[in-house]
A and B are shown apart, each in its own frame.
Chain A
Amino acid sequence: MSNDILFLAEFSAGKAARSALELATGAAELASQSGGSAVALAYGAGAASGAAALGAHGAARAIVLGDEDQPAITYAPAAVAAARDGGLAVLAPATPNGRDLAAALVGSLDLPAFGPVRAARVVDGVLESEQATLQGSVITTARPAEGAPSPSVVLVLANTFTPAEGGSGSAEVSQAPEAGESALSRAAVAERHEADAKVVNLEEATVIVAGGRGVGGEDGFGPLRELAEALGGAVGASRAAADAGWIPYQLQIGQTGKVVKPSLYIGAGISGAIQHRVGMQTAEHVIAVNRDPDAPIGEFADLFVVGDLFQIIPALTEEIRRRKTASGGQG
Chain B
Amino acid sequence: MKIVVCIKQVPATGADKRYTDEMRLDRVGVEAIINPLDEYAIEQALRLLDAGTADSVTYLSMGPDQASEALRRALAMGGHDAVLITDTALAGADEWTTAKVLAAALDKLAPDVALMGMASDDARGSLVPGAVAAMRDVPLLSYGSELTLADGEARVRRLSATGFDWIAAPLPVVATVTDQVGEPRYASLKGIMAAKRKPLETWSLSDLDLSPDSLHGAALTMVTATRAPEEKPPTERIENVPAPEAAVKIADWLEQRKLI
B225 near A: Cβ within 8 Å? yes
Q: How far is the CA of A149 from the CA of B224 in the complex (A)?
A: 18
- Collect the chain B residues with CB atoms within 8 Å of residue A275's CB: 13
In the bound complex, how far is the Cα of B223 from the Cα of A272, in angstroms? 29
**Nearest Cβ on chain B to A70's Cβ, whole angstroms:** 10
- A138 at the binding interface (Cβ < 8 Å): yes
A93 interface contact, C-beta 8 A: no
A116, A199, A306: which contacts B238 (Cβ < 8 A)? A306
Task: Let me know if B237 is at the binding interface, CB within 8 A.
Answer: yes
B243/A315 in contact, CB under 8 A: yes
- Is there contact, CB below 8 Å, between B229 and A103? no
Q: Is there a chain A Cβ closer than 8 Å to B132's Cβ?
A: yes
Give every chain B residue within 8 A of A307 (Cβ-Cβ). 238-239, 241, 243, 246
The interface residues of chain A, by DSSP majority, are classed as mixed
**Complex Cα spacing A320 to B255, Å:** 10
| Chain B interface mostly | mixed
- Of B224, B233, B240, the residue contacting A128 (CB under 8 A) is B224
Instruction: State which size class the interface on A falls in.
Output: 35 or more
Distance of A57 Cα from B3 Cα, bound (Å): 46
User: C-beta contact mask, B220-260 vs A, less than 8 Å → 1, else 0?
Assistant: 11111111110011011111110110111011011101011
CB of A192 within 8 A of CB of B165, answer yes
Cα A320 to Cα B250 with chains together (Å): 9
- The verdict on B203 contacting chain A, using a C-beta distance below 8 Å, is no
Q: Is B122 an interface residue (CB 8 A)?
A: yes
Q: Is A274 an interface residue (CB 8 A)?
A: yes
Q: Which residues of B contact A (CB under 8 A)?
A: 13-14, 17-19, 23, 25, 37, 94-96, 99-100, 103, 118-119, 122, 124-135, 137-143, 155, 159-170, 178-180, 216-217, 219-229, 232-233, 235-241, 243-244, 246-248, 250-251, 253-255, 257, 259-260
A interface with B by C-beta (< 8 Å) = 12, 71, 73, 76, 80, 96, 99-108, 110-116, 128, 132-145, 147-149, 153, 155, 182-184, 186-195, 197-199, 201, 207, 231, 239, 249-250, 255-256, 263-264, 274-275, 278, 285, 287, 293, 298-308, 311-312, 314-316, 318-320, 323-324, 331
